[in-house]
Structure formats: structure tokens, C-alpha cells
Amino acid sequence: MFVARNEARIRAFGRTLGSILRELKFDCRWRNLLDIGCGGGAFLVAARRYGFETVGVEPSRWLASFGRDRYLLDIRDGVLDPGMFEPGSFDVVTLWDSVEQLPNPHDTLAAAASLLEPGGLLLVNYPDVGSLAARLLGKRWPFWQGEHWLYYTRTTMARQLERAGFRVVGYRPFRTAQPLGYAARRAAQYFPAMGAAANLLAHIGLAETRLTYNLGQTLVVARVG
């Protein structure tokens, strides 16, 4: 189940966000943050721990309800619609693993730009088709998924953001942390021999050991204006 891995996501998001805040010397206390496509609220929990006032938007009513009930988060059902929030009402807007699922990403990114204060921060995490992992794995790259409308390289992502009113500050690989057993089971979908490795890890008690890895996800940091 997707939300069963939320605690691992919260830790990974916390490390990533902390690194960005330190690098940019960004004081997050009492700052307002919007997460578009927030899922079960993992990133919102991580951001709240740093002092942000957080709100999320999530099209899955079940996931939105889970985040509200489990973490007492402010999550709005649906998609980002005009008039949902006042212009310039956020200091940070984020999209984690969601921009590639948008049928019209320009409209969403332009709306995000209008919601940010001048100089506001945008964080977008996406599967990078130009990454080394994507090139090496080819058809076995796990991000070839039916629900993805678009795939980006760093160059095409920069163009997409610039059209919406952003300037790119930098890129970095996004590393997630998952139990070794879970990672092995996922890999077994593409490399059947990993099924035996998953069984071995469970047998020797290492299935829950955390593995930090990157399979081609890229995080772009941008500012509006």
C-alpha cells in the first residue's frame, strides 16, 4: 500500500528539505508552503517539522482524507483551481512526483507562480529521462508508467519552468530511502533473480534495513520572477 511507506518518505523528504534550506539560508519559520499533489501528506509532515505553515492539494479523496486524519494536515480535495488561494499567499510551492502526471503542466506551474511572493521558491521532483539510470535501464526503467503524460530532461524542464515565469536555481539527484526487502521486490518485476534476494533478506532479518538510492529522479529548485 502506498501510505505504508509514508514514514520512509517523511525521513527522505526531511533530509532533502533540510539540505536545501541550509544551502539557500532560507528561514522557514512562519513561512507558508503549498504542496500540489501531496498524496498522503508525507512531505507536508516533513515541512511542518521545520516550522512551515503547510497546506496541500490532492486529487485522490482517499489519500487526502488519510493525511487529514493521520497527521491532522490541511489538505484540500481536488486539483489546483483558479481562486482556490489568494495570489502571492505562499513562500514555497512544491510538486513531488506529480508534474509528469499533469495533462497541462504549464497551467499548473503558471498558477503556482502567481501564488508565490516575489522571489518565492519552487521545488519540483520528476523522473528524468535524461538521467544515467534511465539510459542504462532502458525499457526496464521503473518510471515508464502509464499515468505519466510527459517526460523531462533537465533542459526541457528548464524551458517548461521559464515559460511559466520561473528561473532555475539548480538541480540535484533526489534520493529516496526504502527497506531493502521492498526495493528487492520492486526490482524483481524487471530482474526476476531479485525475487530470491528478497527472500534471502527476509530470512536473515535484513528486509527492513534502509537503502538510500536514486533511479533517475531529479529535483529542480527555482524561483519566481
How far, rounded to the nearest angstrom, does the alpha carbon of residue 100 sit from its chain's CA centroid?
A: 11
Residue 81 neighbours by CB under 8 Å, 6+ apart: none
pLDDT of residue 197: 62
Alpha helices in 25-163 (DSSP H): 42-49, 61-71, 105-115, 132-137, 154-163
Domain boundaries, the chain: 2-178+215-224
CATH number for the domain running over 2-178+215-224 = 3.40.50.150
Residues in the chain: 225
pLDDT of residue 180: 54
CB 40 within 8 A of CB 3: yes
User: For each of the chain's 225 residues, which pLDDT tens digit applies?
Assistant: 456 678 888 988 999 999 999 999 888 777 999 999 999 999 999 999 999 999 999 999 999 999 999 999 999 999 998 889 999 999 999 999 999 999 899 999 999 999 999 999 999 999 999 999 899 889 888 888 877 889 999 999 999 999 999 999 999 998 776 665 565 576 667 677 667 766 765 757 755 666 576 778 999 999 997
Amino acid at 52: F
- If 0-12 CB within 10 Å is exposed, 13-18 middle and 19+ buried, where does residue 72 land? exposed
